Amino acid sequence: MSSDAGPPDDATASAVGGASPAVDADARSADDDVRPDADDLLLAVEGVETYYGDSHVLEGVDLEVYEGEVVALMGRNGVGKTTTLRSVLQLTPPREGSVRLRGEELVGRGTHEVADRGVGWIPEERRIFAQLTVEENVRVAVPDADDAGAGLELAFGTFPDLAERRDADAGDLSGGQQQMLAIARGLVGDNDLLLVDEPSEGLAPLIVEAVADALADAAADTTMLLVEQNLPLALDVADRFYVLDHGAVVDEGGTAEVDADSERLRRYLSA
Ligand SMILES: Nc1ncnc2c1ncn2[C@@H]1O[C@H](COP(=O)(O)OP(=O)(O)OP(=O)(O)O)[C@@H](O)[C@H]1O
């Protein structure tokens, strides 16, 4: 969990020591103190309506991501989580609403312009170059060739399995290793905001653990919007969450307020 932009409730828990009015007042002010500062608002999605042809998939999505946070976007299959990421990236541009990055409107811009402004994407389907080696895959994901050494160190430090296979063709890796490589490529991209789509999908439990550890490490200095159906993973890595249902946000809060068994989450997430 990233440490410096936690949800308001984190601090309330430590600030509330007793029930006297004086303590309550202290707790309230501590609570206010840790609310994300409006100046730190990185991504603001407001009233976004997105269609595939005539199919109205997002029906007014609102969410915010502040600098330094990891925000989980959860919901059942088909509710529009990937479409929300695609709407931010302008891969499927919204027909209504606004997507602002540090106050600048992204709707109407091309996806390459969104990427140029520091928004990275680790898509659900693993985007790697099968014909290139593992090392070459990492190198080409580092924006400035001078930083390649640091990028390789980050990638191989995060996923030692990849270091052992650095000279192998990426296409020869196992599915789990390919996912690690896709995540490593995202992490070395020096992005201000990383959109991560279902990183644990289809992976064996041991690899899910490695991926969760890597994301938790990355969360220390990367702002992320994370789509993830693995609830324990999402709640472990994220500071706040949004739940999407039928193309709109139906719940949101701090991850410290809920656990994977919470009825509050299960009613929207179980099949
Ligand atoms: N390219 C597309 N063309 C038409 N409909 C699409 C397209 N992509 C997704 N959809 C539909 O839009 C809806 C939302 O899909 P989306 O992929 O955003 O859901 P999701 O919440 O990410 O679910 P999943 O976990 O299954 O990916 C679904 O009904 C899906 O079938």
Q: Which residues pair with 240 in a beta bridge?
A: 71, 254
Q: Where are the chain's structural domains?
A: 8-118+191-269
d(CA 135, CA 228): 27
| Nearest Cα residue to atom 9 of ligand 1 | 83
11-14, Cβ contacts within 8 angstroms, sequence gap of 24 or more = 13/256
Burial class (CB in 10 A: 0-12, 13-18, 19+), 232: middle
pLDDT at 268: 86
**What interface predicted TM-score (ipTM) does this complex get?**
0.96
Q: What is the pLDDT of residues 81-102, one digit of tens each?
A: 999 999 999 999 999 999 999 9
Cβ atoms within 10 A of the Cβ of 59, count? 15
Residue 174 or 28, more confident = 174
The pLDDT-based confidence of 269 (bands split at 50, 70, 90) is confident
DSSP letter for 36, please.
Answer: P
Candidate ranges 117-126, 143-152, 162-171; pick with highest mean pLDDT: 162-171
Could you tell me the pTM of the whole model?
0.85
Which DSSP helix (H) or strand (E) runs through 180? helix 175-187
CATH number for the domain running over 8-118+191-269: 3.40.50.300
Mutate which of 51, 61, 81 for ligand 1? The one with the most ligand atoms within 8 Å of its CB, which is: 81
| Nearest Cα residue to atom 10 of ligand 1 | 52
